[in-house]
Chain A
Amino acid sequence: MIEGARWRRWIFFNLPLTLFVIGLLFPFYWMVVTTVRPDAELYRPWMAPNYTPFWTLHPTLDHIRYLLDETLFSRWMLNTFFISVLATAISLFCGLLAGYALSRLKFPFAGSLGTGIFITYLVPQTLLFIPLADVIRNFRLGDTPWALILTYPTFLIPFCTWLLMGYFKAIPRELEECARIDGATRWQAMVYIVFPVAVPGILSAGIFAFTLSWNEFIYALVFLSSPEQKTVSVGITSELVRGDVFYWGSLMAGALLGSVPVALIYSFFVEYYVAGITGSVKG
């Protein structure tokens, strides 16, 4: 709490927080306004006297209609969804098993393998995209969704593993030992005892992995070429910008609608997202 006079609270708390919120959210507001603004208003220079930046008196759905009827936008959405769901499922499966092994089992090189996972976690996509494009071509996966479904796990698995290791470490060993004494196999103890307790962590890792897949750009840009295979980000970038011509209304409509799935999941699972972020940097 800020002690002292009321004005101090305004200067040191309300004012800066309001500025932060406005600054961070304004681009999204701008997306919405641009989406419903008719072209005649959209291409009115800011020097013009009748430039009304923050609202429009003639809202229109033309841009959304153009996006849905004249472009492959709905196809891109489906592609992105399909790819993100599968990549997330594969990564969660691998991450669960690997995270369990690295955090709860004793075996040779466990420590160095854990460090190895941490290092792969830090490898940015831009380091490997050129040779990886070559590898994808050799495996004959180029221009198919599998090029992304199989490569996204390279950055999702380390993330899921790292996050889940934190959750597994916090589960008391006695829980598992009891099950083992009662006759459960190692596999059963892991699947029926440890995994259910780690559900919050699994949820965090899952929605985060989904968001990261939805967000990915450079692999999708390089590995896919035909318009009907593209993901939302790449489709909008390449098909709604023709040479120097930007279809701004539809671009913003695409950006807005393309963000909706992620925003929806986010609004339902805010706490898990926060746990995911803080877990990803702690370990």
Chain B
Amino acid sequence: MVVDSVAAVKSAKSYVAAPRRGPVTRILENEGWFAFFLLLPTAVLLGLFMAYPFIEGVLLALSDAKVGVPGNFVGLQNFAVLLNDSIFRIAVWNTVLYTAVTTVFKLALGLWLALLLNRHFRGKAVTRAFVLLPFIIPTVLSTFAWKWMFDPTFSVINWTLFHLGIIRTRINWLSDPGLALVSVIIVNIWRGVPFYAISLLAGLQTINPELAEAAAIDGARPWQRFRYITWPLLLPVTMVVVLFSVIQTFADFQLVYVLTGGGPANATQLFATYAYQIGVGTGLLGQGAAISLAMFPVLLVVVVVQLLYIRRVEIH
């Protein structure tokens, strides 16, 4: 009783102290103004370094600006040039292929790895931690390790394949136009699988194991349990992960820049690497900005699909 009354007196004091508030506090007590001030720093930074560059980018893409030359308004000329640019067409095709193939493999392998990691075994936490490493370590740095592994003369991959009896002569991984894109795709899959696996594993862990057990008792085979229970319940997470990864892959730059620089003979040229080559390498800012912006419609479609999907899931 005594303790209670002491506490009451203490809090009563703070009640008295509270109403003395300055003008700033009074404005901040208004919910709308409070929200405004909280969002202000974000709005300033994103406005200056995202919205403004975006407008600037559209204007650049409509001009013939070069490095050091402001350039004039030329309308859609840059885009018209792109339509007839055979390298641009190669870059578009490569980007689509690169995104589609890597996404399929990353999803399949990532799901497989997630299912393996979802079991109970000794050293599970450590294994999970190590498996995520390719995703955590800076991409450029790990890609250099791959570049060294792909070196035709000193390649450990060639050595291994040779001694397994799979190949007879050396393989020029990065300098063969047909193989270069395959090599780039392999590295992208290697880097992306952990992200898929860990995200999907988190999704798997929310699925009640009793569902699968009940199905097992009813005589469902492992494949049926996966097909009719795990997969439908995992679908929402899978969708979001895939859409995220598609955006990242579609706009990828660093991996190709380090491995091949877009070569040989533009065989691995993507949107971003070509934009860099034209915009920064050659200094044709307008043309480069146009190539970058050409990605925008595709990205927009993916984002809209994602938003619609998330909204649909939220409603259900």
Give the docked Cα–Cα distance between A43 and B52 (Å). Answer: 50
Return the chain B residue nearest A32 by Cβ. Answer: B145
Segment with Cβ contacts to A, from B36-44, B86-94, B100-108, B227-235: B36-44
6 shortest interchain CB distances as A-B pairs: A183-B18, A124-B251, A131-B57, A126-B272, A255-B141, A278-B202
Binding site for B on A (CB under 8 A): 1-2, 13, 16-17, 20-21, 23-25, 27-28, 30-31, 34, 42-47, 51, 53-54, 90, 93-95, 97-98, 100-102, 105-108, 110, 113, 115, 117-120, 122-135, 150-151, 153-154, 157-158, 161, 182-187, 211, 214-215, 217-218, 221-222, 232-233, 236-237, 246, 248, 251-252, 254-256, 258-259, 262-263, 266-267, 270, 273-274, 277-278, 281-283
Give the docked Cα–Cα distance between A277 and B196 (Å). Answer: 10
Whether A98 pairs with B140 at a CB distance below 8 angstroms is no
26 example contacts (A-B, Cβ-Cβ < 8 A) are as follows A27-B190, A30-B156, A31-B145, A98-B42, A101-B39, A102-B39, A119-B303, A122-B303, A126-B251, A126-B275, A127-B57, A128-B53, A130-B57, A132-B49, A134-B60, A134-B285, A151-B49, A157-B46, A183-B14, A185-B28, A215-B139, A233-B254, A259-B142, A277-B198, A277-B199, A282-B240
> Known pairs A20-B116, A126-B272, A185-B28. 8 more at Cβ < 8 A?
A17-B113, A102-B39, A105-B38, A124-B295, A184-B18, A218-B276, A273-B136, A281-B199
Binding site for A on B (CB under 8 A): 11, 14-15, 17-19, 21, 25, 28-29, 31-32, 34-36, 38-39, 41-42, 45-46, 48-50, 52-54, 56-57, 60, 109, 112-113, 116-117, 119-121, 125, 127-142, 144-146, 148-149, 153-156, 158-160, 162, 170, 190, 193-195, 198-199, 202, 237, 240-241, 244, 247-248, 250-254, 257-258, 271-272, 275-276, 279-280, 285, 288-289, 292-293, 295-296, 299, 302-303, 306-307, 310
User: Cβ of B251: which chain A residues have Cβ within 8 Å of it?
Assistant: 124-127
Known contacts A24-B193, A25-B133, A1 near B120 by CB under 8 Å: yes
B230 to A: closest C-beta gap in Å: 15
Whether B129 pairs with A27 at a CB distance below 8 angstroms is no
User: B127, B134, B148, B307: which contacts A248 (Cβ < 8 A)?
Assistant: B148
User: Cβ of B158: which chain A residues have Cβ within 8 Å of it?
Assistant: 46
